[in-house]
Structure 1
Amino acid sequence: MYAATRIKNRQRVCRTLVAALLMSAGAGAASAQDQPTISMAINQSPWLDSFVAMVDQYEEETGNRVELDVTPFGGLLEKIRNSVRASQGSYDIVNVNSLWLSEIYSGGFLAPLGEIEANYQLPEGVLSYGNTTNWDASAATFSSDGALMGVPVNGNVQVLYYNTEIYEQFGLKPPKTWDDLFANAKAIQEGGEYYGFVPRAARDSIVYNFTPYLFSHDAAFFRITGPDQAEVTLNSPEGLKALETYVKIATEAGPPGPGNIAQGELIQLMATGKGAQAIAVIAAWGQLEDPNASRVVGKINAALLPAGPDGMIASSAGHWVAGIPKNVAPEKQKAALAFLDWFAQKERQVDYVRAGGVPVRGDITGADLGDEAAFRFIEAYSQNARHAVMGLPFASAAEASDAMALSFNRAVIGELTQVQALNQAAADLAGVLERAGFTVSKLPDL
């Protein structure tokens, strides 16, 4: 394990936090004084340096220490599993990706924050990303009525990116609906110079990318109907309309071979100026604004995702939540919560954005940041974060995503019709739910 300052020096992070260091800036800072050293398991990521900057600020303000064990994404879940299952945990804070939350929550490995500090609640303004900070053990799903299990530390939701220069060339406005998005994409595509829309339809990406289409059409993969009971609703008429919309936009107004485009390829097409618009995570913003990696610096803007037929909007949650394991000492738990509460305060979140991070609050505006052009993504991020959904809120979410991805991908590349793809994906999802211990009902095949 390395102290945050050592990581910072090793990675040669150079950051200037504009906000003054206030030794008594609010209740979060006050409660953070004189705490024991804590350790945190965290992922290597584009936003790590900004988080390290905040840890350094915390240490300077409070005199407390936070040691970060930085692990590549692919190995972090296994480290977390090993630590929370041990008789004595190695980490006082574990950073949990949204896709893993159900597994870690349902295993009973984390201490509810209201038990560490009586009646503790997230500071007002902090986003719950579709109630994914709270877990209802009796229903085995996320719920605003469930116990508070963690504090978000990075708010990675999807937004609509569009190239303002291309939009101006074609006289377009940001779309309000999926039909608007397709019309814009088609007009650009027919111009012959740019790809009208870049999908993210590779098998490792497609379920996450399809989720906003599904939920905005007033549909869902499944719904919890009772304790250990679920109904698969994916293959509904609304679900079919969502998949038809997804396939149409992906195949009629974008690059060839859409079924092979994953996140890396999407960002590259946008960064080179070939792609006019795309739906991607807000974390891609930094790469698109990096003059060493992008030809479109200053030309990209972000917007709210399009609405479905009845005006519904949804964005896939892809955030991170920090939880405190049960198997660490009470004094370490309290110290961990003091740090997380400090981090979630508004003035610290403004510092976090300035350091390059994605905030976990919905009340940070351009005015808070001085209306600097580099932070023009904030409004779109906040709007989409308020519409964040967890498509697969159960412990076997990763397995379910993999199972359905094949059928969706085959629909995009033309090997299955949309009806065939939905029916097969629904059957595969039902199988995963059954193996996870649910009694499953399912809509009849389309």
Structure 2
Amino acid sequence: MHEVFKRKAQRGAVRALAVALLMSAGAGAASAQDKPTVSMAINQSPWLNSFVAMVDQYEKETGNVVELDVSPFGGLLEKIRNSVRASEGSYDIVNVNSLWLSEIYSGGFLAPLADIKADYKLAEGVLSYGNTTNWDSSALTFSADGALLGVPVNGNVQVLYYNTEIYDRLGLQPPKTWEELAANAKKIQEGGENYGFVPRSARDSIVYNFTPYVFSHDAAFFRISGPNEAEVVINSPEGLKALETYVGIATEAGPPGPGNIAQGELIQLIATGKGGQAIAVIAAWGQLQDPNSSRVVGKINAALLPAGPGGTVASSAGHWVAGIPKNVAPEKQEAALAFLDWFAQKQQQVEYVRAGGVPVRGDITSADLGDDAAFGFIEAYSENAQHAVMGLPFANAAEASDAMALSFNRAVIGELTPTQALNQAAADLAGVLERAGFKVSRLPDL
């Protein structure tokens, strides 16, 4: 049986009290346990505890139950694939990473939300992250005119984290360019007390972490050149400069073994004060400000990612969208949508931020949250969200990311030169695009 994130023993007494209060509240109160229990496949992440807090709040307010089946990032997609393809789904809600959205949408596995509740639309103020909540099945792309298939549950983008205590000691300023970031990293490393920069270069996440470097250098992985036609362009001179910059910063002023550092290790190095800077998801903010898990509470700030040579800034879109599969019972679908709609409302989103989550609305401001320093990430989140990009916006994005990750990781650990890595990544990406039905052209090898 899957490891289910159950809190039943803890919550039994609380839920019983909530049920009693709701039943005695009279007309207008939510009916306790008026909807069936729903199960949700979700990832282990820095923002999980914040989401759990909202589930607890929902259960207290309504008496309805949401059970979370928690998986590591690397294992969640396979669980989702197996569930949505089965004759009867194991999950009533699936939490889909931005990288996987095209695959899940294009497969026709999710129920349009307007089919579950007539004319349903996202609440005003909820972000669509480049229309990635909607899918046009005829054009096979994200589109505002497409069917609404999901509700965002975490507004992840990448930001630059830096340790203000280290910065103040060395007289550093937040970098505006990659060159300035590298210079700051060198100064921190030379101090001998901290790592200058912590990369996220493990194979399971290196493509996501590398994406801001690519797009800020005015490069791309591929470009659509016509109907069902694509040109692979990652092995361009701009792409080479991006990878050289990435490898240089990752290897010259950071921890040993950078090719083994995944998100968990990155956050730990920053949270313990060993790392002076890192590019990571904004969802890590809550963990870095939690005295139970961080030694740097009040010493971390977040900023806009550095610009490339032409002044371009880019941040990887890493948000999560919750969808409701077609292969679950109608009453389960209705219960699932009731929870997601409740979660997206402004009042709940303010509480989500207070619990350490990242909002999925564009109308949450400091005025809503107060002057607590714990909410200091809002400005950096908003700035980077304006520059968020989807690096691989096609149905086989996860396969393409996996294919290229090996070459980029080998460049970081020194098994390939950046030139060799880009040429191999381009060949592997071309193969994925061809298998996906594209007529593919490629730049010549570097």
TM-score norm. by structure 2 comes to: 0.86
Question: One-letter code of the match for 1:373?
Answer: A
Paired residue for 1:17? none
User: Is residue 287–residue 293 contact of structure 1 (8 Å, CA) maintained in 2?
Assistant: yes
| C-alpha distance in structure 2 between counterparts of 1:261 and 1:71, whole Å | 22
User: Is residue 202–residue 262 contact of structure 1 (8 Å, CA) maintained in 2?
Assistant: yes
User: Is residue 51–residue 352 contact of structure 1 (8 Å, CA) maintained in 2?
Assistant: yes
| C-alpha distance in structure 2 between counterparts of 1:293 and 1:9, whole Å | 25
Q: Which moved more, 1:269-278 or 1:286-295?
A: 286-295
Counterpart check, 1:40 vs 2:39: yes
Paired residue for 2:124? 124
Paired residue for 2:17? none
| C-alpha distance in structure 1 between counterparts of 2:107 and 2:213, whole Å | 31
User: Is residue 38–residue 335 contact of structure 2 (8 Å, CA) maintained in 1?
Assistant: no
Residue 331 of structure 1: how far off its partner (Å): 4.7
| C-alpha distance in structure 2 between counterparts of 1:76 and 1:433, whole Å | 23
Counterpart check, 1:263 vs 2:276: no
| C-alpha distance in structure 1 between counterparts of 2:367 and 2:166, whole Å | 28
| C-alpha distance in structure 2 between counterparts of 1:203 and 1:87, whole Å | 33
Paired residue for 2:176? 176
Residue 252 of structure 1: how far off its partner (Å): 2.7
Paired residue for 1:425? 425
Give 1:357-436 correspondences, 5 Å limit: 357-436=357-436
Give 1:48-87 correspondences, 5 Å limit: 48-62=48-62, 65-73=64-72, 74-87=74-87
Partner of 1:395: helix, strand, or coil? coil
Question: One-letter code of the match for 1:333?
Answer: Q
Compared CA separation, residues 94 and 256, structure 1 to 2 (3 A): closer
| C-alpha distance in structure 2 between counterparts of 1:415 and 1:85, whole Å | 39
Residue 322 of structure 1: how far off its partner (Å): 0.8
Counterpart check, 1:101 vs 2:111: no
Compared CA separation, residues 33 and 124, structure 1 to 2 (3 A): farther
Partner of 1:302: helix, strand, or coil? strand
User: Is residue 134–residue 149 contact of structure 2 (8 Å, CA) maintained in 1?
Assistant: yes
Give 1:169-248 correspondences, 5 Å limit: 169-248=169-248
Question: One-letter code of the match for 1:404?
Answer: M
Question: One-letter code of the match for 1:67?
Answer: V
Residue 397 of structure 1: how far off its partner (Å): 2.2
Partner of 1:189: helix, strand, or coil? helix
Partner of 1:367: helix, strand, or coil? helix
Q: Which moved more, 1:269-278 or 1:80-89?
A: 80-89
Question: One-letter code of the match for 1:432?
Answer: V
| C-alpha distance in structure 1 between counterparts of 2:360 and 2:9, whole Å | 26
| C-alpha distance in structure 2 between counterparts of 1:205 and 1:434, whole Å | 23
| C-alpha distance in structure 2 between counterparts of 1:144 and 1:308, whole Å | 30
Paired residue for 1:143? 143
Residue 170 of structure 1: how far off its partner (Å): 1.6
User: Is residue 41–residue 76 contact of structure 1 (8 Å, CA) maintained in 2?
Assistant: no
Paired residue for 1:26? none
Paired residue for 2:18? none
| C-alpha distance in structure 2 between counterparts of 1:326 and 1:384, whole Å | 34
Q: Which moved more, 1:364-373 or 1:389-398?
A: 389-398
User: Is residue 211–residue 316 contact of structure 2 (8 Å, CA) maintained in 1?
Assistant: yes
Partner of 1:152: helix, strand, or coil? strand
Compared CA separation, residues 117 and 366, structure 1 to 2 (3 A): same
| C-alpha distance in structure 2 between counterparts of 1:5 and 1:99, whole Å | 24
Compared CA separation, residues 49 and 194, structure 1 to 2 (3 A): closer
Gaps of 5+ in 1: 15-20, 23-28
Give 1:292-303 correspondences, 5 Å limit: 292-303=292-303
Residue 152 of structure 1: how far off its partner (Å): 0.8
Partner of 1:225: helix, strand, or coil? strand
Deviations 1:392-435 (A, max 9, x none): 22232222222212221222233322222111110111112222
Deviations 1:261-301 (A, max 9, x none): 22233223222222110001223223323334332221111
Q: Which moved more, 1:385-394 or 1:270-279?
A: 385-394
Q: Which moved more, 1:413-422 or 1:139-148?
A: 139-148
Paired residue for 2:275? 275
Count the aligned residue pairs: 432
Compared CA separation, residues 86 and 411, structure 1 to 2 (3 A): closer
CA RMSD of aligned residues (A): 3.1
| C-alpha distance in structure 2 between counterparts of 1:369 and 1:300, whole Å | 19
Question: One-letter code of the match for 1:39?
Answer: V
Paired residue for 1:18? none
User: Is residue 130–residue 387 contact of structure 1 (8 Å, CA) maintained in 2?
Assistant: no
TM-score norm. by structure 1 comes to: 0.86
Residue 91 of structure 1: how far off its partner (Å): 3.4
Gaps of 5+ in 2: 15-20, 23-27
Partner of 2:367: helix, strand, or coil? coil
